[in-house]
Structure 1
Amino acid sequence: MPDVAQITVSPARIAELTALIRATGPETRTTVTPLTGADVATVPVSTEQDVLDAFAAARVAQRAWARTSLRRRKRALLKLHDLILKNREELLDLVQLESGKARSHAFDEVLHTALTGRYYGRRLSRILGPHRIAGAYPVLTGIRQYHQPKGVVGLITPWNYPLSMALVDGLAAVAAGNAVVHKPDSQAPLTALAIIQLMHRAGFPKDLWQVVSGAGSVIGSTIIANADYICFTGSTATGKRIAAQCSERLIGCSLELGGKNPMIVLPGADVEKTVEGTINAAFSSAGQLCVSIERIYVHESIYDQYRDALAERLERLSYGANADWEAEMGTLVSPAQLATIEKHVADAIDHGATVVSGGRARPDIAPWFHEPTVLENVPESALCSAEETFGPLVSLYPYRGVGEAIALANSTIYGLNASVWGPVRRARKVAPKIQAGTVNVNEGFAATFGSIGAPMGGMKQSGTGRRQGAEGLLRFTESQSIGVQRLVPVGGPPQLSKRTFTAVLTVGLVLMRRLTRKA
């Protein structure tokens, strides 16, 4: 087993964190670390009544929080940014302990959460502040648009990014004046609890963010039945069920779901840079990333060169299940994830695919570690051709014309992320033709994912709604328009007949159109 002595969280610290969960029943569950398979924490499990109590407390806190000034919220957001960076070492330890990813990939989460706090802290007034809108009649009609909080947001987050996904959506929700009832994934609650504790220190009220624990199949319905809005990150199958439940109550939801993300390598691409980019695009967090690349379409003129260079680079890839900053890939999170990738690899080979690189589990590195694997000659009948693997597995496909590559990239029910590599001018022309919520040119996913002002989300069955940017904040609000009419009613002054008023109004509209024709 690897030496993970550098990654330690004391029993006292674990007890301090798990005490933040609202759970009164006797039931518990034990989490394990993918680094070694050893037990990590005994986590209390919430009852249905605990969830109801969480919503009751959150509603009281939300009513007070909604009355706070945007300036106070901004101070808390910017303070949280500083606290995240100051406490990065513990956060890195927790992310690695619960997810098994490499330390450099864990830092991506620290950076992402800190940048989210800073982004909304600096732009909160600009996005949420009242906005003047042109009224029906100049001067006579005044309109202001307000953004009122939804109320209490139900937040259900996954295990693969236990820090980023625990915070970035919920942080936007509370910044907009809401409270949150949060169910982190049962595999990775400690990281979420640590960041919520930092929120308390930053100035967010303690009851504003309630944490419950348990299986989604047990308490998920109770969360949906009591929330004013649902934010979920996870599988497409679960997302569809959540959307159906939300529709019954006519509440909104944002869903970031599955992907089978393509990369197109154009003729003229720098092969060496593209190969290096592929390592990050496909194997960050061991491929357990919703925007991770799983299908790569390479122009036939450079296909062999690219394939061979990628195989050679993977031979030099450094693995690790420890705190070594030089490790380029960590482990899968569970036996279930390992079983999926082994199934997909074996099935592809049975259908005639060829292994270019990898293809094996490596329990000598960590219990559920699997080598980064590259396949070619993968037929459509293979599972990994269309199904999301969510692991370190990519398939290579040569193509002749760029139109063919675009059609292949779009031949999926998903549309979350895509990547295009090649001369920038040509790649930028290809990118808008790909049906994906984010498309990165000469990058895998970080150009859009790391730009907090850029909305991120899926097309087709990859989800609804957007995180990040103004859209990521406004989804947690209700738009409200307030109009003030001065001097003359909208229907016209009582001194004029309706016939005369409509004639005057028609002339006025024609004149206004002519005056604004060049605008």
Structure 2
Amino acid sequence: MNAQNPASAGGPVVEGPRDPEHDPRASYALEPEYVAALTERLVATGGTTAEVRSPLNDAPLAHVPQSTPADVVEAFARARRAQIGWARTPVEARQRALLRLHDLVLDRQDEIIDLIQWETGKARKHAFDEPLHVALTARYYGRTAARHLATTRRPGVVPVLTRVEVNRVPKGVVGIISPWNYPFDLALIDGIAAIAAGNAVVAKPDAQTVLSALLGAELLEQAGIPRELWQVVAGDGAEIGGAIVERADYVCFTGSTATGRLIARGCADRLIGCSLELGGKNPLLVLRDADLEKAAEGAVRASFSNSGQLCVSMERIFVADQVYDRFVERFVARTEALTLGSTLEWGNDMGPLISRQQLDTVTAHVDDAVAKGARVLTGGHARPDLGPYFFEPTILEGVSPEMTCFGRETFGPVVSLYRFHDEADAIARANGGEYGLNASIYSQDGARARFLARHVKAGTVNINEAFAATFASLDAPMGGMRESGTGRRQGAEGVLRYTETQSVATQRLIRFGPQLGMSDEAYAKVMNANLRLMKKLGRA
């Protein structure tokens, strides 16, 4: 791709707009009856609507009813009533509902993918990742929730005579605020764990992608989750987000670090917990012994999946001097071979950005870098000829600290390359800044890469893979360090965050006090002797 001429030969292959006469799904998600059936699930009584436009063609997609703060209050009231009965539902029954959800998502994945594409514009192969991950999550907690939530025995203070059990009880109603970049997946996966633990959910999806979240709510009900248990509200975060924080028993948020801070403060004021998956400026390291073909292929997926609008995607690539030129040659060639298009069909590698605002941000970051001396190896331009919000996959070299994209998250198809001399230098530079969400290391020495991973300040580190290995391994926790967030989704931590720990101790035969007229002083001596004995016996 010639950076000076975005339409020149060698650039991404272009697919034209789809033909409504030959594409049976061309107007699928725009059918008024379909949109009305989905939005009927919203708790929204204010009478106002907001227009949603598709990034595929900037055409009106739907008019979504908007919720008021009073609607949020009503949604929580409904959810609380439903949660009482749900908490008494055996965990095994909840698991069966999740396994039914697994099958429903797979059965209806074409419909789900279509709707995701209409709302986000992403390529079909990236839209497919969403029902795939939801199905994986539903199956995982459908198989493991009982194990994670089971009452456990702990040693009592007096052997045999003190029985101690630890219960996991649901928090109540969980507020889930999800983003636009993975509208079906992130609207559901955190809530799946919450309801597995016996909670109810009040969900607020991003204003651009409400329909995908509502389709998820429909599937939950069809799987056997009581409709009242999963409430959905719609509206601007500044308008109703605070009302969710004010009433939830726990808040789960995925989005920007700035908004995450506001939510954390609100939760702290109420002394409730929250989990926050926030921004990232994720690094990928290519060591001198890396398989360069695999590294280049992985770097393309790491940087340009979902047009770079992925919280765990890479925006910084550090490459060993010994292999830098050979890696760059392969990386640029693979990037220039990507297919860009705005159709619902398989075959495209990248779709448009979500909005004009996102396009403006990406453009500003690239223009700022170029003006201050960065070199564009490929890409670097908006592509209005492909659609309203397209930006070419872009590789920059020579990015320095005074440039906006050096430390600030771009959240678009832009990645910067850096040489390194030794691995300690690479780790130090990868740890620069305040983020710590995801990282990747390419090396043929797995043991060495795993050793280095322990020194990377990131909640997940993938070896010889971009991000999918950790994100799809449901038994492993996923989340960020530092300003990339707090708390973890997935695994035991992903469900236990929605519970309160309750210790129950049953005492038999003796009491904790002087026995049979024993003086307080004699009791103290007996207890001291017992403490020494327990230590000798190896008791904790």
> In structure 2, how many angstroms separate the alpha carbons of the residues matched to 1:316 and 1:486?
73
Aligned residue number for residue 37 of structure 2: 16
Give the Cα separation in 1 of the matches to 2:389 and 2:244: 32
Q: Secondary structure at the match of 1:262?
A: strand
**In the TM superposition, what is the alpha-carbon distance from 1:492 to its structure 2 partner?**
5.5
State the distance in 1 between where 2:18 and 2:371 align. 37
- 1:269 maps to a residue whose letter is A
Aligned to 1:202: 223
What's 2:72 paired with?
51
Q: Following TM superposition, by how much is the alpha carbon of 1:120 offset from its aligned partner in structure 2, in angstroms? A: 0.7
Distance, in Å, in 2 between the alignment partners of 1:169 and 1:319 is 31
Residue 380 of structure 1 corresponds to 401
Residue number in structure 1 paired with 2:511: 489
Aligned to 1:268: 289
TM-score, normalised via structure 1 length: 0.97
C-alpha separation between the residues in 2 aligned to 1:323 and 1:299? 39
- Out of 152, 160, 175, the position equivalent to 2:173 is 152
The question of 1:312 aligning with 2:333 is answered yes
Give the TM-score of the pair, scaled to structure 2: 0.93
Alignment length (residue pairs): 518
In the TM superposition, residue 325 of structure 1 has moved relative to its aligned partner by 1.9
Q: In the alignment, residue 136 of structure 1 is paired with which amino acid? A: V
Letter in 2 for 1:461: E
Q: Quote the residue 1:441 is aligned against.
A: 463
- Residue 18 of structure 2 corresponds to 3
Question: Structure 1: where are the runs of 5+ without partners?
Answer: none
Tell me, in whole angstroms, the C-alpha distance in 1 between the residues paired with 2:123 and 2:515. Answer: 71
User: 2: distance between equivalents of 1:135 and 1:260?
Assistant: 47
- TM-fit CA distance, 1:496: 4.3
Q: Which amino acid aligns with 1:64?
A: G
Query: What residue is the counterpart of 1:393 in the other structure?
Result: 414
State the shift of 1:512 in Å. Answer: 3.9
Q: How does 1:224-243 map to 2 (within 5 A)?
A: 224-243=245-264
Q: Secondary structure at the match of 1:148?
A: strand
Code of the residue aligned with 2:135 in structure 1: it is A
Provide, for residues 288-333 of structure 1, a one-character-per-residue CA deviation record: whole Å limited to 9, x for no partner: 0111100010001111111111111111112222123222212211
SS at match of 1:369: coil
Quote how far apart the aligned CAs of 1:432 are.
0.8
Show the counterpart of 1:452. Answer: 474
1:163 to 184, 189, 200: 184
Match of 1:138 among 159, 168, 172: 159
The residue aligned with 2:274 is 253
Opposite residue 306 of structure 2, the aligned amino acid is S
Task: Work out whether 1:363 is the aligned partner of 2:384.
Answer: yes
What does 1:22-101 correspond to in 2, within 5 Å? 22-101=43-122
Instruction: Give the Cα–Cα distance (whole angstroms) in 2 for the partners of residues 496 and 392 of structure 1.
Output: 77
Alignment correspondent of 2:454: 432
**Paired residue for 2:317?**
296
Quote how far apart the aligned CAs of 1:11 are: 2.1
Give distance in 1, aligned partners of 2:316 and 2:139.
34
- Kindly state the Cα deviation for residue 181 of structure 1 after the two structures are TM-superposed: 1.0
Name the counterpart of 1:463.
485
- SS across alignment from 2:322: coil
Give, in angstroms, the shift of residue 214 of structure 1: 0.6
State the SS of the aligned residue for 1:26.
coil
SS of structure 1 residue aligned to 2:135: helix
Structure 2 Cα separation of the partners of residues 187 and 13 of structure 1: 17
Question: What CA deviation, in whole Å up to 9, does each residue of 1:71-118 have, x standing for no partner?
Answer: 110111111011110111100101111111111111111111001111
Q: Describe the superposition over 1:389-424 as per-residue Cα deviations: whole angstroms up to 9, x where unpaired.
A: 000100000000100000001111101111111121
Three-state SS of the structure 1 residue aligned to 2:188 is helix
2:296 paired with 1:281 = no
For residues 239-291 of structure 1, the C-alpha deviation after alignment (integer angstroms, 9 at most, x for no partner) is 11111111111111111110000111111101110000011111111110111
2:95 maps to a residue whose letter is: K
* 2: CA distance, partners of 1:64 / 1:322: 45
Q: Would the alpha carbon gap of residues 488 and 85 (structure 1) be closer, same or farther in structure 2, given more than 3 Å must change?
A: same
Note the C-alpha offset of 1:350: 0.9
Q: What's the offset of the Cα at 1:511?
A: 4.2
Partner SS, residue 515 of structure 2: coil
Question: Relative to structure 1, is the Cα distance of residues 324 and 490 closer, same or farther in structure 2, using a 3 angstrom cutoff?
Answer: same
User: What CA distance in whole angstroms lies between the structure 1 residues aligned with 2:68 and 2:216?
Assistant: 23
Query: How large is the Cα RMSD of the aligned pairs?
Result: 1.5
Structure 2: tracts of 5 or more residues without a match: 1-15
